[in-house]
Amino acid sequence: MFSLRNVNPINLLKHSNGPSSNARRSLANVAAAAGKRSGIQLNDVVHGFQLRELQPVPEYNMTALQFQHLKTGAKYVHLQSDDSNNVFSVTFKTPPLDSTGVPHILEHTTLCGSTKYPVRDPFFNMLNRSLSTFMNALTANDYTMYPFSTENQKDYYNLMSVYTDAVFSPLLNELDFKQEGWRLEHENPKDSSTPIIFKGVVYNEMKGALSDPSQLFVSRLQQRLYPGTTYSTVSGGDPENITDLTHSALVDFHTRHYHPSNALFYTYGNFDVVEHLKRIDERVRDIQPLSKQPNPLGSIVPFDKPQHVVEKCPPDPMGNPEKQTKVSVTYLTNEDRDVQESFAIRVLTSLLIEGAASPMYKALIETNIGSDYAASVGYDNGAWQTSVSFGLQGIRPDDVELVQRKIKEVLETVAKDGFDPQRVETVVHQIELGMRHRVPNFGLNAGFNVSRVWAHDGDVLESLRTAQQIQRFREDYRREGNKYFRDRIQRYFLDNSHVLVFVMEPSTDYLNTLAESEGRRLNTHVSSLTDNAKQKVFEDGERLIKEQETKKDLSVLPTLETSDIAKEGKSYPVELIPVGSASSHATHAPTTQWRSTNTNGVSYITLDSSAFSSLPRDLLMYVPLFCSALTSLGTKTKSLAELDEEIRRLTGGVSASSYESIRPDSLFSGGRTHFAVSTSCIHSLGASDGVDAERLAQVYDLLREVLTETAWDGPEVEERLTTVLVGLASNGMNSVVHSGHSFAMVAAQAAEKFGPTPYAVNEELTSGLTQIGFVNNLASGEINIPDIIQKLKLIAAQLLGNKSDMRFMVNAIDSVKSVHMSELQRLSNVLNLSNSGRLGGSNSDAPAISTRTSQNSYSLFPLPIQVNYTARAFLTVPYTHPDVAPLSLLSSMMTSQFLHRELREKGGAYGGGARLSPMGGTLSMFSYRDPPSGMSRTLETYDRAIDWACGIKQHVNEKTLSEAKLSWFSKMDSPVAASAEGSALFQHGVSDEMKQRRRQEVLAVTLDAVQDVAHKYLAGSGVTSSVAVLAAEESIKSIDGMKEEWEVRRL
């Protein structure tokens, strides 16, 4: 996996398993407890590792231990915690010297077999032999990381063995390099008369990645900001350069960089660190010293004056053609290893850009110069010397200088006038609130932070002490006042010569130019081939196919057994509590689903209504805009800036959204469109562990104000709504390129000829390609804001006028229950809420299943992309149907045993598989970032996948079935955030009892049952399917000769 930008550590650490309010101990006691628990004291040597540092991190209820391996020099950080979701990773510094993508292709190729595990693709095979909660690998700008997490100790050491052998003893076969990186191969590898083309998993992945307008913008900007350094390359690989990489260069890069002396081991959780040390030492102690030095990061030579660069990009066919220019002004700032200074600049950047009260928002967004901030905007620590960027996308070419001028004016004004101290404290409050959130991936996110800081030669343990950074910031700001920020604005922005003004303009010839360039490169490669070399290309293609199709003995890989699966699943019991007494006009009181759980002093509140279920479809299309506008317009008593600051001061944010639900026992009845508004807030008074009743009252008042007093009228409202609308439209294409396979699946499931379910239809209308096209049409040309406002008013009236079926969900500790229930009663009285006790209406006129008519459907969506996303959907059964269990395992085995090989290994797609939607009642096959020439092959692969599935007993055995069960349970049993406990019941009516029954059904599934459902739902009499393809405009030619009746659908 290629990661273009790094995540800020504050954003990583804001999702934590922090201390419960009654578990705060002195630093000395924490360190002593850690030493006693592990039996290791400072400077002790255990299994070849010396403990160099031992530091408590009480804000996250953990202790950090930093070791060094005395023989090899390997660094090792362990974060000791009571968290059961244990994490392991090994990271290497891998700064590239060119854009051939060598670190990225090496990341892929190391996972294609090792000395101890000489099988094809042990990584993907382990996905089915494990109960992991996360498995992946990623390439950043200057390091490569191999992380996993699991709650099962046996699984943990199985995966550690596979991962460490993969990185230190990979086979690095040339055929694997050609499969994962790039190769010359006949379009049909079995037919030497077909053209020779470029293929390769990473090659197509990066064609897709750089089709994403945001990734392209950020990548090209970074290359220009850091000339002459490793950051002037594309570490993931630029397709223009990937085809220059040789297998020998890949092997040499591994020799230079994948060595313990250039590695950081990281572990987190409640497993014994001594056992970790033992196993890591056994793996690395006999590795010989490094013979070649790793590539250096390189020094950065400051610009002597600001630079101005213009580059081209593909146009957005759905956007306003006159406003598609992007511009950013980016400043080189501090060294990433200076943790405290990084904290200061991050706070400064937040004050400048975040929220409606921020000066950049007022100058750039409210003025509607552009559609949204440019993708680069913010503080970026992806390089060892960080940067801050301001800018806009969706502007007119003539407004580039205007944007630059406004950015400079904002910086000059803020340097002169400073910030309101309350705004400064609000930013810090957001960080403190974030520290309290209890989510399952904290250890993984902390590992990302640790790896980046280590790669940039920073103090890893200092980077974890967020509370210390906050305390020092407050002390310095209190002492210096506005001078604290004024000096930094002057130094990093106003007096800085290392500034890049980066402009990206659309070109209608962009994709043609890329295609012509690829054609020239291909011609150069092919024309240089001798007859013998051409024969070798053909033979290599045949050898690769033979290798891909040869069944390997996987018994060498470690595995769990079904006996390792917990018989009882995790449960999240809830209470259903009527909110006081019903109003005089109601027949039932609204209900609160109360989930009592440890939330570290945070309350999670959701108000839910199914009032939108009776909206006509023309209004339903406006629901996403309504949800975005609700907190973006201000209220009758507060300006947008005042409202935004109030939200930030009191909560972790207020979000409005819609979602689809359907009865667990039916696909064609009981469908509902829900509106939900959610927030989180600190409910404790801190060290006293009391309840801040006044704060909770203010939070509920805020929810009421957002729901009932949003300002829908006035010139300012019209301008703000225009801002919201244009912002939604500009982000649409980015989301399609990033998640094209998901959009393709939803489009296939909702195709009219297919006879779709209400769930699928409404999902497409509110979050699919139809919604993206709708919003872009609204935002193009002359925007009729008055008409849109009238539509939004009708939706608001529907929400507030139909108050039956409103309900609440609160996740918090029991000690605050009475305060919440009192506030909920007050809110209910103000809103005059009731609950009818009946199912709401439905905005779907879909027929009952007994009258459903269905035909095969084929849809092509032409888009400005260099890769394809292809989906084929089949209707199945509702959640509670017993066939869901074998269907779940069928989709898993179709992915791991057939589609992965055919789509990724043979076809060159970055990914592909089969996915069952238990709530939506569909099974879909999909490809992700498929070669543009591969549409016919992918569709033919889906046909063969059905034949394979219908004869699955000939292809797999009981061991394979057990592995599919392990894969299913690894997802089923993954830990969830405190805020999400009980959400399946609240949103979809799926109870813990239903989940437990499903566990038992899955454990009991036989291969006979899997083959039966394959026949029944994929190939039985009357079975129909729906195909949706997202592809380049030229793909229209490829469907002309197909026998199916295709519909070309333009957004």
Closest C-alpha among 385, 221, 236 to residue 297: 385
Q: Which pTM was predicted?
A: 0.91
Q: What is the pLDDT of residue 553?
A: 84
Structure confidence at residue 435 as a pLDDT band (50, 70, 90):
confident
Percent above pLDDT 70 for the chain: 93
Report whether pLDDT(691) > 90: no
Q: Which residue has the tokens 């209004």?
A: 619
Please give the torsion angle defined by the CA atoms of residues 796, 798, 804 and 807, in that order, rounded to the nearest 10 degrees. Answer: -30
Whole-angstrom CA distances from 963 to 237, 433, 730, 909, 960 are 34, 40, 43, 24, 5
Residues in the chain: 1051
Q: What is the pLDDT of residue 688?
A: 44
326, 392 contact by CB (below 8 A): yes
The CA R_g of the chain, rounded to the nearest whole Å, is 29
Span 744-759, pLDDT tens digits: 999 999 999 999 999 9
Q: What is the pLDDT of residue 837?
A: 38
Which token pair is 590?
């609204």
Closest C-alpha among 599, 589, 598, 591 to residue 575: 591
Report whether pLDDT(34) > 60: no
Q: What is the pLDDT of residue 1042?
A: 85
107 is catalytic: yes
Maximum pairwise Cα distance, the chain: 90
Q: What's the rounded mean pLDDT across residues 944-973?
A: 96
Report whether pLDDT(975) > 80: yes
Structure confidence at residue 358 as a pLDDT band (50, 70, 90):
very high
The string of DSSP codes covering 977-1037 is: -GGGTTHHHHHH---HHHHHHHHHHHHT--HHHHHHHHIIIIISTT--EEEEEEE-TTHHH
Report whether pLDDT(595) > 60: yes
Report whether pLDDT(4) > 70: no
Cα(177)–Cα(662) distance, rounded to whole angstroms? Answer: 46
Cα(406)–Cα(397) distance, rounded to whole angstroms? Answer: 15
183, 538 contact by CB (below 8 A): no
Closest C-alpha among 104, 109, 144, 107 to residue 237: 104
Report whether pLDDT(897) > 70: yes
299, 229 contact by CB (below 8 A): yes
Mean pLDDT score of the chain: 90
Q: What is the pLDDT of residue 834?
A: 58
Structure confidence at residue 1033 as a pLDDT band (50, 70, 90):
confident
Q: What's the rounded mean pLDDT across residues 1011-1023?
A: 95
Cα(221)–Cα(215) distance, rounded to whole angstroms? Answer: 10
Span 55-100, pLDDT tens digits: 999 989 999 999 999 999 999 999 999 999 999 999 999 999 999 9
Q: Which residue has the tokens 């692969």?
A: 941
Cα(906)–Cα(547) distance, rounded to whole angstroms? Answer: 10
Q: What is the pLDDT of residue 806?
A: 87
Q: Which residue has the tokens 């470690």?
A: 558
Q: What angle do CA 831, 723, 218 make, to 5 degrees?
A: 120
Which token pair is 668?
């064609």
517, 240 contact by CB (below 8 A): yes
Within a 13 Å sphere around the CA of 406, how many CA atoms are in the beta-carbon half?
23
Report whether pLDDT(696) > 60: yes
Cα(720)–Cα(365) distance, rounded to whole angstroms? Answer: 9
| H/E run at residue 826 | helix 817-831
Q: What angle do CA 170, 173, 178 make, to 5 degrees?
A: 125
Beta 575-578 vs 49-57: how paired, if at all?
unpaired
| H/E run at residue 218 | helix 213-225
Q: What is the pLDDT of residue 468?
A: 94
Report whether pLDDT(685) > 70: no
Cα(5)–Cα(215) distance, rounded to whole angstroms? Answer: 9
Within a 13 Å sphere around the CA of 997, how many CA atoms are in the beta-carbon half?
11
Q: What is the pLDDT of residue 835?
A: 55
Non-local CB neighbours of 48 within 8 Å, separated by 6+ positions: 69, 70, 71, 277, 281, 285
Span 827-849, pLDDT tens digits: 988 887 655 433 333 444 443 44
| H/E run at residue 791 | helix 785-801
Please identify which of the residues 59, 107, 354, 660 carries the catalytic annotation. 107
Span 531-544, pLDDT tens digits: 999 999 999 999 99
Cα(408)–Cα(496) distance, rounded to whole angstroms? Answer: 12
Closest C-alpha among 451, 130, 81 to residue 271: 81
> Beta partners for 155?
none
Span 650-661, pLDDT tens digits: 999 999 999 999
Q: How many secondary structure helices (H) and strands (E) does the chain include?
A: 38, 29
CB-based burial label for 598 (10 Å; 0-12, 13-18, 19+): middle
Report whether pLDDT(319) > 90: no
Q: How many Å separate Cα 810 from the centre of its chain?
A: 26
Q: What is the pLDDT of residue 588?
A: 63
Q: What's the rounded mean pLDDT across residues 432-437?
A: 86
Within a 13 Å sphere around the CA of 708, how many CA atoms are in the beta-carbon half?
15
The string of DSSP codes covering 554-603 is: GGGS----GGGS-SS------EEEE-SSPPTT-SS--EEEEEE---TTEE
Q: What's the rounded mean pLDDT across residues 103-125?
A: 94
Span 630-646, pLDDT tens digits: 999 999 999 999 999 99
Q: Which residue has the tokens 């405009």?
A: 1033
Cα(331)–Cα(326) distance, rounded to whole angstroms? Answer: 17
CB-based burial label for 15 (10 Å; 0-12, 13-18, 19+): buried
Non-local CB neighbours of 188 within 8 Å, separated by 6+ positions: 194
List alpha helices for 554-708, DSSP H.
Answer: 617-620, 623-630, 640-650, 693-708
Cα(843)–Cα(623) distance, rounded to whole angstroms? Answer: 13
Q: What is the pLDDT of residue 1021?
A: 87
Report whether pLDDT(698) > 80: yes
More confident residue, 34 or 626: 626
Span 117-135, pLDDT tens digits: 999 889 989 999 999 999 9
Among the ranges 116-125, 304-313, 438-447, which has the highest mean pLDDT value?
304-313
Percent above pLDDT 90 for the chain: 78
Within a 13 Å sphere around the CA of 14, how many CA atoms are in the beta-carbon half?
14
Order of all β-strands in the sheet with 857-862: 911-917, 922-928, 869-875, 1025-1031, 857-862, 1047-1048
907, 861 contact by CB (below 8 A): no
3-state secondary structure of 474: helix
Cα(269)–Cα(83) distance, rounded to whole angstroms? Answer: 5
Q: What is the pLDDT of residue 652?
A: 93
Cα(857)–Cα(922) distance, rounded to whole angstroms? Answer: 15
Report whether pLDDT(851) > 70: no
Which token pair is 991?
């109870």
Cα(119)–Cα(112) distance, rounded to whole angstroms? Answer: 7
The string of DSSP codes covering 359-387 is: HHIIIIITTTSSSEE-TT-EEE-SSSEEE
Beta 62-69 vs 75-80: how paired, if at all?
antiparallel
Residue 737: how many other CB atoms lie within 10 Å = 25
